[in-house]
Structure 1
């Protein structure tokens, strides 16, 4: 950060908030309006706080992304053609961009980092090569997707729109790690748009063409950085769409006859989609997922040796799917409910521990009051709950096994956190209708934007 950050950041903040206030009437209603600016402000705060943390205490990805983006910015200054090629290249090296790519460790075909570099380069161009402005632009992109996620959840279950705002916007780990100049910000924003596109296009069947475009762009964005998010999300999303549409068949007999056929079709689509997604990255072919998970965990456990006791060990991996399955229960626990409070070694881990403790308390409260059988019945019979919990469990297993240390886990798991907590709030409102009515929200049934 330098003097430009202090000069330009207030100006760009003014532009961002002016645009936010102008757009707010179109994307909110009387119930959601009050969360729009506070949620955006937390994203802004998270982006700036993360930048300060990395520039003063840590070093790491955010600085490297900005440095690579700075190279693209300088390339535009020397040659528009070279700069444009760096933004649009498929990873093929040419003589025109070689002087710049030689300075980029993350350039090349198959690089999961280079998509973020492109976005950092675009942010540098729009923000005159200023770190804080680029980080703010990442926060705005992330916020747009998370707002789409929120209004989708709120349309599905408007009775708990207040609690859903907490799930999507006000978890400290999510607005901190999911706001700055990192791939996590772009991924969670794109996941929010993908969730919106599935619901708006495939379930509500409105603006289908627009939702198809949004869904393709969101999926492409995620697959460019963290394809395993798609592998975890697509199957339960396909099941969600199937269940929602099956439930709308009025005839019970037709519904029971059609459901197995639709389930078969949905499973085929999900398997095809997973195969197509995995084909884009050989590391995530089914026969290599276990091996890749073992390699990632080994590397990150090595990193954790230098992170003041932040490592954890849930068991030895053998690089097979069967080995991953044996570790799945421990992986779910570590991803959803750890670090425990006594395992926190620094402020960021302490925040994560507080969140995990809240997840433990809320999960335990629902299971105690409702009972396991009734809880499972509600999850299996409510399509959105099936999506939330199946996605959360799949994702928890994948990141819990492969992370190896809490410092990495807190970043890796943020895509599941809004879905798991939203699922808990929706589950609570469904299984405890008296408590839901006491909020005096159910009777109002707001129609959300």
Structure 2
């Protein structure tokens, strides 16, 4: 960060807050209004904090590697605007005009990283290539999708607006890792818009055109940057749709008969959609998932085993069968680790505190409700079914690929709002069931007293 950051950041912050206060009335109601500015503020805080941590704690990292590429494109606008425009719309191809610049870009041929560079390069033109202001803009983009995610949850369960705010906005790992000049910020915002678009277009069937457009834009970002997020989202989402349609059948007998058919159809549609998405990408081919997981896990584990942040969930030999074997451990490590005693640095400690909260809420939920009743509750509530399936599928993916807690804490943030939201919905339903039970018991006793009198 430079003197330019110190001078321009307060000015742009004032502008961004002015825009936020102007927009707030259109996207909030009397209950959600109070969370809009605080939620945006923690995103801004996370964006600035991420840059400071990478600069003064890590001494560099991805966020500054992105900005180095942006610097080259920004300078190109002063030297050759044609070359700069070509770089912004480039797909990694060779061009004599851009070659003097791309030779200095390590990520030019990497479509995922360079997509982030292209977004940041466009934003740099609006802020005189100031890193901290670009980070605030990334936080704003991410926040737009997170707010859409929040609105989707409270559309289904309006009374849980306080708890959903915690789940979506105020988990430290989520607003820290998902706010700066990083792939994670774009993906988190895109996932929120995909969730919003999917729910409104296929479940509620309202504002269909707008929902499809924003959902497709979000899906495009995920496909470009981290397609595995969309691959984890699709099968549970399609199962959700088929369960919802099954519930709307009036005949109970017909519902029971068709339910297995809808589930199989949902799984099949999700699998076909996932395979079609990756048909041209060998990195995510179904028959190579095990092999690539083995390579990623071994590389990341070896890279950090001497630092105390590596973890081992079992042997992955490159086959799909070995992935199935280690899947339970992958879910545990993604949702509930690192444990407090495994924390080796402040970042790991933060993640360990969140994991401990997840352990506590999960155990208390299943303890108070009962294991069998809890699973019945999950199966009978379509949104909860979706949230848990997405969290589990995603947890298996990142848990088997990460190999160390430093990487895992960043990879797993997309699942965290959904998992915590599902726990809050179950808790709400369980409390309501107990209240209804007590009310029914009171009514029964009053009736018996009345008859006795």
Same fold, TM exceeding 0.5?
yes
Matches within 5 A, 1:108-147: 108=109, 111-147=111-147
Paired position in structure 1 for 2:240? 240
CA contact (8 A) 2:70 2:118 kept: yes
Report 1:216-365 matches (<5 A). 216-256=216-256, 258-260=258-260, 262-305=262-305, 308-365=307-364
Tell me which of the two structures has the higher relative contact order, counting C-alpha pairs closer than 8 angstroms and 6 or more residues apart: 1
Q: What does residue 34 of structure 1 align with?
A: 34
Q: Separation in 1 of the partners of 2:384 and 2:280?
A: 29
What is the aligned partner in structure 2 of residue 91 from structure 1?
A: 92
Structure 1, residues 342-396: CA drift from partner, whole Å, max 9, x if none? 1111111111000000000000001111111101111111100111100101111
Aligned-partner SS, 1:113: helix
Paired position in structure 2 for 1:70: 71
| Partners of 1:83 and 1:435 in 2: CA distance | 63
Q: Greater helix percent: which structure?
A: 2
Q: Which structure 1 segments of 5+ residues have no match? A: 438-449
- Relative to the length of structure 2, the TM-score reads 0.93
Answer whether contact 2:91 2:111 (CA < 8 A) is retained.
no
CA contact 2:239–2:262 (8 Å) conserved in 1: no
- State the match for 2:446 in structure 1: none
- How far, CA to CA, are the matches of 1:388 and 1:346 in structure 2? 30
SS in 2 for 1:288: helix
Shift of 1:436: 7.9
SS in 1 for 2:181: coil
Equivalent in the alignment of 1:200: 200
Larger radius of gyration, structure 1 or 2? 2
Shift of 1:263: 4.1
Alpha-carbon distance in 2 for matches of 1:263, 1:182: 36
Instruction: Check conservation: 1:366, 1:428, Cα contact below 8 A.
Output: yes
Shift of 1:305: 3.4
The secondary structure found in structure 2 opposite 1:128 is coil
Question: What CA distance in whole angstroms lies between the structure 2 residues aligned with 1:316 and 1:111?
Answer: 31
How big is each residue's C-alpha offset from its partner over 1:286-306, in whole Å with a ceiling of 9 and x where there is no partner? 110111111111111122135
Residue 443 of structure 2 corresponds to none
Alpha-carbon displacement from aligned partner over 1:227-273 (angstroms, at most 9, x marks no partner): 11111111001111221232223343554455455445434432221
DSSP-derived class of the 1:432 partner = helix
For residues 166 and 83 of structure 2, what CA distance do their matches in structure 1 show? Answer: 44
Closer, same or farther in 2 for the Cα pair 1:257/1:364, shift >3 Å?
closer
Superimposed CA distance per residue, residues 180-225 of structure 1 (whole angstroms, 9 cap, x where no aligned partner): 1110111111000000000111111112122111111111101111
- Measured after TM superposition, the shift of residue 151 of structure 1 is 0.8
Corresponding residue number in structure 2 for 1:379: 378
Number of aligned residue pairs: 435
Tell me the distance in 2 between the aligned counterparts of 1:179 and 1:4. 21
